[in-house]
Structure 1
């Protein structure tokens, strides 16, 4: 074989190898793009499902809040005078009545708060979530998560509480055995700044206490 023929054959082989490499690179890019597309679609699908699930759950809570909540105790014609006397301890938080002139700042507390100040907060449309001091920490964490971001919620331990968890708004109260009770979000939706409040929208900061 003469030299020009050898050079032509070598160039042809090099060209064929380059063409095959180009095809391989193209196939690799297509596989990568397809894989990324599958991942993106999966993420979008998961995110959409989560959003739709959250919306469905919230809609169910709002619908439940339009109906009477089972086992809620109601008291009417509560006095609302500002007095300097403390409220005597009891097995359940007071759900209204005469109270301290200064309200309790909303938020989460690791120690009990004065009932006389908390009742003033109820007057402003607050829901006071109380729990037994010996409630397991993981369950207390669940309550913190439930009230987080709710500007008119107050969470604190309550010594001698009659039930593991008690929800109180002005004139209404609910005793619960479990922190995962589905009535908790319903109660909050119904009574936070609810029409039962004598002074809904009044301040829940600038008063007594420093939340955690």
Structure 2
């Protein structure tokens, strides 16, 4: 800083000293204002990161909850002879045939079928009966639903009830019930995805029951709309 100028006039000297003090105060106030601006900027940055962090935590929590709620269930393969109210039982042939088959049940729960079986999995389009029935012969369960009645969250929940393997899920227009669960020679029809008998039926007949070719591959032809 340049040395302060001196004046022989006392009044002039006082004015000079006052001017210097004002300049110093102005600079001090400027520095203080800049510090406050920087402080507020850092506080806003911290707040933003807290908000983003909170959103990220909530998003992760939502994913975890969804993975628990909609995760495929675990089932024990094989039948234990449980009696489930409403299950219908049939005696059906297992011949391989060509062309379209007129089945007695809608959807079918077994019977003559095509030599090619449908790959197990979740489909968002209707599937060919004759190929799906062959998958039932291998011990799969087939979860079908009326696409006009089962949608949105109910559909997600229904799909989540399917085992990871040896299961088919597909829409089936024209059923006389919102949901039908079929295994070889056995079938259960229910009105709601919340019906506990769906899981009970799968536990009883998945990779069990009377399926003629239990354990045979469930990887075959893929129908339209596989997810």
From 126, 134, 147, give the equivalent of 2:159.
Answer: 147
Structure 2 gaps of 5+ residues are 1-13
Distance (Å, rounded) in 1 between the aligned partners of 2:50 and 2:83: 47
Q: Does structure 1 residue 18 correspond to structure 2 residue 28?
A: no
Match of 2:87 in 1: 73
SS at match of 1:168: strand
Q: How does 1:164-175 map to 2 (within 5 A)?
A: 164-175=178-189
Taking structure 1 as the reference length, what is the TM-score of the superposition?
Answer: 0.66
Distance (Å, rounded) in 2 between the aligned partners of 1:170 and 1:211: 24
Instruction: Please say if residues 82 and 100 of structure 1, whose CA atoms lie closer than 8 Å, have aligned partners that are also in contact.
Output: yes
Match of 2:54 in 1: 41
Distance (Å, rounded) in 2 between the aligned partners of 1:3 and 1:75: 110
Distance (Å, rounded) in 1 between the aligned partners of 2:127 and 2:27: 83
Instruction: Please say if residues 109 and 156 of structure 1, whose CA atoms lie closer than 8 Å, have aligned partners that are also in contact.
Output: yes
Give the number of equivalent residue pairs.
Answer: 204
Match of 1:129 in 2: 143
Q: Compute the displacement of 1:94 (Å).
A: 2.8
Q: Compute the displacement of 1:177 (Å).
A: 1.5
Q: Does structure 1 residue 108 correspond to structure 2 residue 123?
A: yes
Q: Compute the displacement of 1:190 (Å).
A: 3.5
When Rg is computed on C-alpha atoms for both structures, the one with the higher figure is 2
Change in Cα spacing, 1:4 to 1:144, as seen in structure 2 (3 Å) is: same
From 214, 217, 226, give the equivalent of 1:199.
Answer: 214
From the two aligned structures, give the one with the greater helix fraction.
Answer: 1
Instruction: Please say if residues 75 and 171 of structure 1, whose CA atoms lie closer than 8 Å, have aligned partners that are also in contact.
Output: yes
Distance (Å, rounded) in 2 between the aligned partners of 1:116 and 1:43: 47
From 172, 176, 180, give the equivalent of 1:157.
Answer: 172
Structure 1 gaps of 5+ residues are none
RMSD: 4.3
Q: Does structure 1 residue 90 correspond to structure 2 residue 101?
A: no
